[in-house]
């Protein structure tokens, strides 16, 4: 009798953990060798002032590699323009992640929500390492799965590695915000975030079809079902999820460091006390996501002054608008540039409070090729997405 390879026990243990609420996926997780799809990855160097990453390159069947590959954790495979496959020993990656193998528990949770039935045609947006495509293909058959990614190398690597253990879904290098490989799908799942929701997805989704995606720069996970009228209706799910947004270039646009230099200490054109407490946008994340929905593209930063413990929050925009809010004994807000970003944040907070600070998962989604929106529970606050 042939002895099972070392990874199978680790994969089964992962399946036991992540499919407790989705048992139909246990077999696929148990039999998909994630370690072969992610041979090398980047690991963040703690407290690195320039956001550097160390390369992790371990022998294929080493206990350390199997432990990492079959843990319910995201493995970052690409940092800035550099994939871990192309890094040299000892090289450090620099910048933000631009591709990863998403934590398996989140993939299973989203796939469970997608509710794929036998014979359904599935579009997997964001191939990455190929892990989600491998799970779909294992469970529903290679011919029913198409996976797309903007990065030709990711596509070629995933296609080759999947084929090495017998999985041959269709994998294509395209910009998924544009035309898709086929005109009709029963299910679409995106492990990249989007805004706007691409019209091509909604045109391709068959009546009765389902879409699961996240909205860029938020943790809002949306599930929507396509009606016969061409409108997909759904809701924000109660559990948040974050993904890298779709990109067209090798890397994401640079952060707004030039605006931050201005905002960091400069006296504002408008200086006033804040209207209420200075929020901690990393703890008050519903307010942060509502602000992003209302006033998209604002970069947020925060710090604590070491001498007296005062908190400071910065809002930065590409048009040069900025705000700096400091709490403490005499809270103050400085604003500059063409827009008053802190005024916008306070306007969103007031409106949310007027609506009794509704839970974001009570929002409805209406998605169509002509325009997509999230709506407040009373339908009076509409956010284009």
Residues forming the active site: 99
Distance CA 385, CA 374 (A): 7
- Is 280 strand, coil or helix? coil
- The radius of gyration computed from the CA coordinates of the chain, to the nearest angstrom, equals 22
Angle at 379 between CA 373 and CA 382, to 5 degrees: 35
Each as own residue / partner, the long-range contacts of residues 64-67 (CB below 8 Å, 24 or more positions apart, any chain) are: 65/35, 66/6, 66/7, 66/10, 66/35, 67/10
- Is 155 strand, coil or helix? helix
Beta-carbon contacts of 226 under 8 Å, excluding residues fewer than 6 positions away, are 202, 205, 206, 207, 208, 209, 210, 211, 232
Distance CA 295, CA 280 (A): 18
**How many Cβ atoms from other residues are within 10 Å of residue 369's Cβ?**
17
**How many Cβ atoms from other residues are within 10 Å of residue 286's Cβ?**
17
- Residue 185: which of 139, 109, 246, 125 has the closest Cα? 125
**How many Cβ atoms from other residues are within 10 Å of residue 88's Cβ?**
6
Secondary structure letter of residue 266 according to DSSP: P
Beta-carbon contacts of 170 under 8 Å, excluding residues fewer than 6 positions away, are 142, 145, 146, 147, 181
CA atoms in the 13 A half-sphere facing the CB of 68: 22
């Amino acid at each position: 009798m042939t002895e099972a390879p070392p990874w199978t026990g680790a994969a089964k243990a992962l399946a036991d953990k992540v499919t407790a609420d989705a048992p139909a996926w246990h077999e696929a997780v148990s039999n998909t060798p994630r370690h072969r799809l992610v041979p090398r990855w980047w690991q963040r160097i703690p407290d690195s002032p320039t956001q550097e990453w160390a390369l992790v390159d371990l022998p294929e069947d080493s206990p350390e590699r199997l432990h990492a590959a079959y843990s319910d954790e995201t493995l970052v495979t690409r940092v800035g323009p550099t994939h871990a496959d192309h890094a040299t020993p000892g090289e450090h990656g620099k910048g933000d992640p631009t591709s990863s193998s998403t934590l398996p528990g989140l993939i299973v949770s989203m796939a469970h929500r997608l509710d794929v039935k036998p014979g359904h045609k599935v579009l997997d947006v964001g191939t990455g390492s190929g892990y989600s495509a491998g799970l779909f293909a294992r469970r529903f058959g290679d011919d029913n799965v198409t996976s797309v990614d903007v990065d030709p190398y990711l596509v070629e690597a995933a296609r080759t590695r999947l084929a090495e253990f017998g999985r041959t879904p269709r994998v294509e290098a395209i910009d998924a915000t544009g035309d898709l490989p086929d005109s009709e799908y029963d299910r679409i799942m995106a492990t990249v975030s989007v805004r706007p929701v691409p019209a091509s997805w909604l045109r391709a989704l068959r009546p009765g079809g389902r879409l699961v995606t996240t909205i860029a720069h938020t943790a809002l996970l949306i599930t929507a079902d396509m009606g016969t009228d061409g409108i997909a209706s759904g809701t924000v799910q109660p559990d948040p999820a974050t993904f890298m947004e779709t990109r067209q270039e090798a890397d994401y646009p640079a952060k707004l460091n030039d605006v931050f230099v201005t905002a960091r200490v400069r006296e504002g054109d408008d200086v006033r006390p804040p209207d209420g407490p200075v929020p901690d946008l990393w703890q008050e994340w519903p307010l942060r996501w509502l602000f992003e929905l209302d006033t998209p593209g604002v970069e947020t930063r925060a710090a604590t002054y070491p001498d007296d413990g005062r908190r400071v929050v910065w809002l930065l925009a590409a048009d040069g608008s900025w705000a700096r809010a400091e709490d403490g004994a005499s809270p103050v807000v400085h604003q500059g540039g063409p827009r008053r970003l802190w005024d916008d944040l306070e306007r969103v907070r007031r409106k949310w409070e007027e609506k009794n600070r509704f839970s974001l998962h009570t929002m409805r989604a209406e998605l169509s090729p002509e325009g997509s929106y999230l709506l407040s529970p009373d339908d009076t606050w509409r956010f284009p997405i």
